[in-house]
């Protein structure tokens, strides 16, 4: 247990002061969750002992994604999505932006998790699922085998399910990344998180820009060599002190390794103990970044204050993209 020394209290007070000194602008205010669908999904996840990045990372879109859309006939909420987070709720890394708790999971994995995922997808009626994970440096393959078990179970139970992954960097283990690729997801995502200059101050020291790029590059090159279609995806948080030129350079670096999809969203400080916000990026700047991403050749870019790497707005586009590709393959 951490003892609050006078020095710790001063540090905490300073962080709180930093947070309070930058009030949220009007465009950053959101409504709290309220629909029946939100309550139903929360109950389901608890029953199946499943974690979501939506809860663990305090995602600002949780209300919109979990609540779904209003049925014009009944007036009730329908649909609703959640990004499942596998391999527990404890990460072996301690990135300064992330709310997920850090610690040593001691190689523990839930053997029932693949089947619980299958049942949750069925109950929610999903045809597109997004799965992420905590980083598991305690496991020899970074959790690649568990990824495969989850994908195999989902594909067996739901053959037409479209699956998007947001993986860790497997500590640079390219064979582990390839093992997950061989389980044939439709989208393989791994986040750069921020521009190269800010990596060390934002991410855990075991993560770095080049390691992340190498994972994305290896996945795309391997898929091409095997004749496997895969869309690669990455995301950046903005408002940490990056410049426009640095964001553009990151786009160029991602496109140089054929990354297909990129998202940009506002960094939000999850607690006083995390990195303070350097600035709130204005909506028009997000619009500009989206246009620049399209000019650089990305197939899709989601860019906005509340956009996150697994934001549901991108699912419809990606779903249509995959469907068109499959129709062309069958023709």
- The pLDDT assigned to 321 comes to 78
Q: Are strands 231-238 and 261-266 parallel, antiparallel or unpaired?
A: parallel
Per-residue buried b or exposed e for 284-305, using 16+ beta carbons within 10 Å of the residue's own CB: ebbeebbebbeeeebebbbbbb
User: What residues in the chain have per-residue pLDDT under 70?
Assistant: 1-21, 30-82, 309-316, 326-331
Q: How far apart are CA 130 and CA 90, in angstroms?
A: 19
Q: How far apart are CA 307 and CA 315, in angstroms?
A: 12
- The pLDDT assigned to 181 comes to 98
- The pLDDT assigned to 3 comes to 38
Q: Determine the distance from the C-alpha atom of residue 256 to the mean position of all C-alpha atoms in its chain, rounded to a whole number.
A: 22
Q: How far apart are CA 17 and CA 4, in angstroms?
A: 18
- The pLDDT assigned to 75 comes to 46
Q: How far apart are CA 28 and CA 123, in angstroms?
A: 33
Taking the alpha carbons of 285, 287, 290, 292 in that order, is the dihedral positive or negative? Answer: negative
- The pLDDT assigned to 126 comes to 80
Distances (CA, A) of 276 to 58, 191, 267: 16, 20, 9
| CA count, 13 A, side-chain hemisphere, 148 | 14
Q: Determine the distance from the C-alpha atom of residue 181 to the mean position of all C-alpha atoms in its chain, rounded to a whole number.
A: 17
Are 231 and 187 in contact, with CB atoms under 8 Å apart? yes
Residue in 209, 309, 232, 206 with CA at minimum distance from that of residue 267: 309
- The pLDDT assigned to 27 comes to 81
Please provide the average confidence, as pLDDT, over all residues in the chain: 83
Q: How far apart are CA 135 and CA 169, in angstroms?
A: 8
Q: Are strands 77-78 and 69-70 parallel, antiparallel or unpaired?
A: antiparallel
- The pLDDT assigned to 83 comes to 79
Domain map of the chain by residue range? 35-330
What are the residues facing 165 on neighbouring strands?
A: 131, 188
pLDDT, one tens digit per residue, over 54-74 is: 554 455 555 555 444 544 454
Per-residue buried b or exposed e for 195-212, using 16+ beta carbons within 10 Å of the residue's own CB: bbebbeebbbeebbbebb
Q: In a 10 Å sphere around its CB, with 0-12 CB exposed, 13-18 middle and 19+ buried, how is residue 157 labelled? A: middle
- The pLDDT assigned to 52 comes to 53
- The pLDDT assigned to 233 comes to 96
Q: In a 10 Å sphere around its CB, with 0-12 CB exposed, 13-18 middle and 19+ buried, how is residue 30 labelled? A: middle
pLDDT, one tens digit per residue, over 253-283 is: 999 999 999 999 999 998 889 999 999 999 9
Domain 35-330 has CATH 3.40.50.2300: no
Taking the alpha carbons of 51, 163, 259, 322 in that order, is the dihedral positive or negative? Answer: negative
- The pLDDT assigned to 284 comes to 97
3-state SS assignment for residue 132:
strand
């Amino acid at each position: 247990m951490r003892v609050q020394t006078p020095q710790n209290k001063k540090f905490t007070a300073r962080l709180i002061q930093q947070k309070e000194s930058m009030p949220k602008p009007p465009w950053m205010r959101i409504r709290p969750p309220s629909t029946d669908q939100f309550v139903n999904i929360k109950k389901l996840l608890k029953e199946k002992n499943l974690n979501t990045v939506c809860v663990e990372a305090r995602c600002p879109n949780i209300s919109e994604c979990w609540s779904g859309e209003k049925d014009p006939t009944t007036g009730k909420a329908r649909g609703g999505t959640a990004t499942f987070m596998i391999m527990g709720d404890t990460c072996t890394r301690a990135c300064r932006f992330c709310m997920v708790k850090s610690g040593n999971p001691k190689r523990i994995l839930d053997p029932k998790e693949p089947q619980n995922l299958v049942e949750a997808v069925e109950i929610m009626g999903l045809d597109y699922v997004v799965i992420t994970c905590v980083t598991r440096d305690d496991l020899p393959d970074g959790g690649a085998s568990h990824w495969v078990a989850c994908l195999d179970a989902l594909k067996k139970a739901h053959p037409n399910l479209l699956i998007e992954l947001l993986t860790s960097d497997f500590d640079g283990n390219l064979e582990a990344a390839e093992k997950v690729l061989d389980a044939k997801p439709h989208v393989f995502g791994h986040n750069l998180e921020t521009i190269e200059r800010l990596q060390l101050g934002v991410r855990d020291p075991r993560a770095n820009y080049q390691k992340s790029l190498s994972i994305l590059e290896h996945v795309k090159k391997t898929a091409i060599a095997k004749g496997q279609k895969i869309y690669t995806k990455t995301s950046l948080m903005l408002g940490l002190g990056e410049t426009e030129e640095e964001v553009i350079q990151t786009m160029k670096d991602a496109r140089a390794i054929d990354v297909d999809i990129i998202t940009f969203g506002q960094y939000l400080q999850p607690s006083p103990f995390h990195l303070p916000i350097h600035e709130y990026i204005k909506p028009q700047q997000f619009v500009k970044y989206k246009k620049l991403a399209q000019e650089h050749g990305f197939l899709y870019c989601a860019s906005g204050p509340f956009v996150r790497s697994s934001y549901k707005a991108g699912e419809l586009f990606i779903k249509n993209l995959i469907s068109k590709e499959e129709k062309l393959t069958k023709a």
